[in-house]
A and B are shown apart, each in its own frame.
Chain A
Amino acid sequence: MAEIVIRNLRKEFGDFTAVQSSSFKIEDGEFFMLLGPSGCGKTTTLRMIAGLELPTDGEIYIDGEEVGRQPASKRDIAFVFQMFALYPHMNVRKNISYPLVSQGMPKHQVQEKVAEVAQILGITKILDRPVGGLSGGDRQRVALGRAIVRDPKAFMMDEPLGALDAEFREHMAEELRALHDRMGATTVYVTHDQLEAMQMGDKIVVMNHGVIEQFGTPQDIYDKPATMFVADFIGSPSMNFLRFHGQVLAGSTSVSIHHDEISVPRLQEPFEGDMVFGIRPEHIALTDTGTYRGEVLAAEYLGTTQIVTLKTANGELKARIPSGQPVRVGEYVGLDFNGATVTLFDNQSGRALKSELNEGVLAHV
Chain B
Amino acid sequence: MSSYSITEPSSRQKWVAGSLVIFYAVITLLPLVWILTTGFKSPVDAIAYPPKVMFEPSLEGYVNLFTTRTRVSQEQLEALPPPATWYEEIVRNRDMVIAGPSRYGERFLNSVIIGFGSTFLSVFLGTLAAYAFSRFKVPLKDDLLFFILSTRMMPPIAVAIPIFLMFRTLGLSDTHLGMILLYTAVNISLAVWLLKGFIDEIPREYEEAALIDGYTRFQAFYKVVLPQAATGIASTAIFCLIFSWNEYAFAVLLTSGTAQTAPPFIPTIIGVGGQDWPAVAAGATLFLVPVMVFTILLRKHLLRGITFGAVRK
Contact = CB atoms under 8 A, between A and B. Distances in A.
Nearest to B219: A102
Interface of A: 50-52, 71-73, 77-79, 81, 83, 85-89, 98-99, 102-103, 146, 150
A52 B213 contact: no
Given A77-B212, A83-B205, 8 more contacts: A73-B216, A79-B208, A79-B209, A79-B212, A81-B209, A87-B206, A98-B213, A102-B213
Nearest to B207: A85
A85 B203 contact: yes
A98 B224 CA distance: 11
Interface of B: 203, 205-206, 208-216, 219, 224, 227-228
A73 B211 contact: yes
Nearest to B209: A85
B168 to A, nearest CB: 48
29 contacts: A52-B208, A72-B211, A72-B212, A73-B211, A73-B215, A73-B216, A78-B212, A79-B208, A79-B212, A81-B208, A81-B209, A83-B203, A85-B206, A85-B208, A85-B209, A87-B206, A87-B210, A87-B224, A88-B206, A88-B228, A89-B227, A98-B213, A99-B212, A99-B213, A102-B213, A102-B214, A102-B215, A102-B219, A103-B214
The 9 closest A-B pairs by CB, nearest first: A85-B205, A102-B214, A99-B213, A85-B209, A72-B211, A89-B227, A79-B212, A81-B205, A73-B214
A185 B73 CA distance: 97
B249 to A, nearest CB: 41
Contact of B209 (A51, A71, A77, A87): A87
A137 to B, nearest CB: 19
Nearest to A82: B205
Which of B203, B213, B228 lies at the interface centre, i.e. has the most chain A CB atoms within 10 A of its CB? B213
Contacts of B214: 73, 99, 102-103, 150
A8 B133 CA distance: 32
Contacts of B224: 87
Contacts of A150: 213-214
Contacts of B228: 88-89
Contacts of B210: 87, 98
Nearest to A85: B205
Nearest to B211: A72
Contact of A50 (B212, B216, B219, B227): B212
A146 B219 CA distance: 18
Nearest to B226: A89
A87 B205 CA distance: 10
Which of B205, B206, B209, B212 lies at the interface centre, i.e. has the most chain A CB atoms within 10 A of its CB? B212
Nearest to A52: B208
A71 B220 CA distance: 13
A99 B228 CA distance: 19
Which of B205, B209, B211, B228 lies at the interface centre, i.e. has the most chain A CB atoms within 10 A of its CB? B209
A262 B31 CA distance: 95
A77 B209 CA distance: 11
B295 to A, nearest CB: 23
Contacts of A79: 208-209, 212
B213 A146 contact: yes
Contacts of A50: 212
A89 B205 CA distance: 14
A10 B224 CA distance: 31
Contacts of A73: 211-216
A218 B297 CA distance: 59
Nearest to A99: B213
A105 B150 CA distance: 49
Which of A73, A86, A89, A146 lies at the interface centre, i.e. has the most chain B CB atoms within 10 A of its CB? A73
Given A85-B203, A89-B228, A52 B211 contact: yes
Nearest to A149: B213
B233 to A, nearest CB: 14
